[in-house]
Amino acid sequence: MSDKNEIPYKIYLSENEMPKAWYNVRADMKKKPAPLLNPATHQPCTAEELEHVFCKDLVAQELNDKDAYIEIPEEIRNFYKMYRPSPLVRAYCLEEKLGTPAHIYYKFEGNNTSGSHKLNSAIAQAYYAKKQGLKGVTTETGAGQWGTALSMASSYFGLDCIVYMVKCSYEQKPFRREVIRTYGAKAIPSPSMDTEIGRKINAEFPGTTGSLGCAISEAVEHALKNEGYRYVLGSVLNQVLLHQSVIGLETKAALDKYGIKADVIIGCAGGGSNLGGLISPFAGEMLRGESKYQIIAVEPASCPSLTRGVYAYDFCDTGKVCPLQKMYTLGSSFMPSANHAGGLRYHGMSSIVSELYDQKLIEARSVEQTEVFKAAEMFARIEGILPAPESSHAIKVAIDEALKCKESGEAKNIVFGLTGTGYFDMKAYEAYNDGKMADYIPTDEDIKKATDMIPRFPGNEF
C-alpha cells in the first residue's frame, strides 16, 4: 500500500502516542558493549567512580544493560510535548525529482529552538541533575547544537550551565554562541586558559582551533574542581543513546500506523547518538530475530571512525581524563580538519553503535563534504528544509540509495534521520556557494600516527 491518498506528507503522532519509556537496546544484545574502564587500573568503572563526574541517575542508566524499557519521567515528557512528537515526513517531492520508485521518509528533529535532536537528551540530563540537587552542569559543544540544547534545558530547570565551545565554532558560529548566552549559560572558547588541560593543549598546539575531545577534557576538569557541578555529554554515552531512542520509537510508531515496513534506515554518525536512537527499536527487532533491516551509518570522509578506525579501548577525550571506552576510534589525539560538519568531528563512536557495527548488524559509509553539500542544496530546494551539514550526510546516502532503486526498479522504503536545520551554518553554505569548499581526507599515515597512540595493555589488542 502507499499512494498519496493513503500516506500523508507528514505523519504525526498524537501526544498520547508518544513513548512513555525509552528503549535500551543493550538489553537485547547477546554480546553487550564492553564496559567503561578506569584508565589507571584498567578495571570496569564502578558506579561510585562515575558519580564523581556524572549525575547519579544517569550513571545508573549508563551501566544498565538489563532493562529493555526505562520510564520517561513525567517532567521530561511534559517538556517533550513542547516540540514532540516530531513529524515523519514522506519526501514525495524528492522522490519525484529523483524519479525513483523508492519511498523516502525522514524523521525531522529540527523543530525546536536548538535546531536539533540534542534537546531530547539535554532535557533528560538537566532533569536528573536538578533531581540530585546540583547547582549546575558543565559540558562541551562542537558546532554549538549541544550547548544550545543544554542551555535551554538548564534554564528550564534553573541550573547553572557552563559550555566549553570548540574554538573554531565559537568564532565561526556567533549566533549559536548568542543563543547559549540568551538562555543564561556561559560559553567559553576551547582550548581556554581557564583549565590546566586547556593551557597544556594551547602550549602544545599553538593556534589550534580546538576539537571536541579537548573541550570535553576542559568541561570534566571544571566539574571535578567545582562543588555541586557535574559533567554532561551530548553524545557517545549509552545514556544519551537511551534518551535518543525516543526518535526511533516515534519513527517506528508512525510507520506502523500506516503499515509501512522500513527496508533501509540511514543516519549520520558523529558520536552515534541520533543514529543509535533512530535505529534502536529496529536493531532490537533484528537482535531478537524478528525482522531484518539494512542500517547505514554515514560519517564524514575527514573523520572516518567506523570506516577507517580501529576497534579498541581508547580515551573519549584528548586530555585523557575520561574513562576508557571500547569503540571504533581514530585515536584521541586525532585532530580532524576544520570540516563544516562540526557535530561529526569526533575521533570515536558510541560503544553501542561500535558493537552493533562489529557484529555486522549495521554498515558504515563515509562521504566527502562537497558531495554532502550538493545533496543539502538539492534537498533544501526540493523539500523546503535547509538541512544541517551533519544531517546532510544522511541525505546524501538516502539519495544514493534511492538512485540505486531507480536502476533496479525496487520500491524500497528508505527512512533517514534529518537531525537538524542549518540556519546557523550559513558560513559553511557560503563556502559551498563560493566554490571554496575543500574535501580533506586524512592519509593512512595521519590515521596511523593517532591510532599508534591509543593505550596498549593486556586485553586491548587491536
Q: How far is the CB of 112 from ligand PLP (least distance, A)?
A: 11
Q: Which distant-in-sequence residues (6+ apart) come within 8 Å of 447 by Cβ?
A: 308, 309, 330, 331, 334
Q: How far is the CB of 459 from ligand PLP (least distance, A)?
A: 27
The three three-digit cell numbers of residue 10, written as one number: 507528514
Q: How far is the CB of 325 from ligand PLP (least distance, A)?
A: 14
164 three-class SS:
strand
* Strand stretches in 12-54, DSSP E: 21-23
Helical (H) or strand (E) element with 400: helix 389-408
Q: How many residues in total does the chain contain? A: 462
The three three-digit cell numbers of residue 459, written as one number: 586485553
Q: Which residues pair with 312 in a beta bridge?
A: 327
Nearer to ligand PLP, 154 or 273 (CB): 273
Instruction: Measure the CA–CA gap between 358 and 271, rounded to whole angstroms.
Output: 16
Instruction: Measure the CA–CA gap between 5 and 150, rounded to whole angstroms.
Output: 40
Within 272-388, residue ranges assigned H as helices are 273-287, 305-308, 351-358, 369-383
Nearer to ligand PLP, 116 or 192 (CB): 116
Q: How far is the CB of 259 from ligand PLP (least distance, A)?
A: 29
Q: How far is the CB of 75 from ligand PLP (least distance, A)?
A: 24
DSSP string of 214-274, one letter each residue: HHHHHHHHHHHHSTTEEE--SSSSHHHHHHHHHHHHHHHHHHHHTT---SEEEEE-SSSHH
Nearer to ligand PLP, 122 or 269 (CB): 269
Q: How far is the CB of 199 from ligand PLP (least distance, A)?
A: 27
Q: Where do contacts with ligand PLP occur on this chain (CB under 6 A)?
A: 116, 118, 145, 235, 268-275, 343-344, 388, 390-391, 419-420
Nearer to ligand PLP, 118 or 396 (CB): 118
DSSP structural state of residue 37: B
DSSP structural state of residue 66: S
Nearer to ligand PLP, 273 or 413 (CB): 273
Nearer to ligand PLP, 143 or 254 (CB): 143
Q: How far is the CB of 297 from ligand PLP (least distance, A)?
A: 9
Nearer to ligand PLP, 134 or 161 (CB): 161
Nearer to ligand PLP, 269 or 397 (CB): 269
Q: How far is the CB of 181 from ligand PLP (least distance, A)?
A: 19
Amino acid at 15: E
Q: What share of the chain is helix, strand, coil (3-state, %, to 5)?
A: 45, 15, 40
* Cα–Cα nearest to 454, from 314, 253, 286: 314
Q: Output Rg (C-alpha) for the chain, integer angstroms.
A: 20
136 three-class SS:
strand
For 271, 282, 293, the CA distances from 289, given in Å and listed in that order, are 27, 11, 11
Q: How far is the CB of 63 from ligand PLP (least distance, A)?
A: 20
Amino acid at 292: K
To which residue does cell 547547582 refer?
135
Nearer to ligand PLP, 100 or 120 (CB): 120
Q: Are 101 and 128 in contact (CB under 8 A)?
A: no
Q: How far is the CB of 291 from ligand PLP (least distance, A)?
A: 23
Nearer to ligand PLP, 100 or 244 (CB): 244
Q: How far is the CB of 306 from ligand PLP (least distance, A)?
A: 11
Nearer to ligand PLP, 210 or 260 (CB): 210
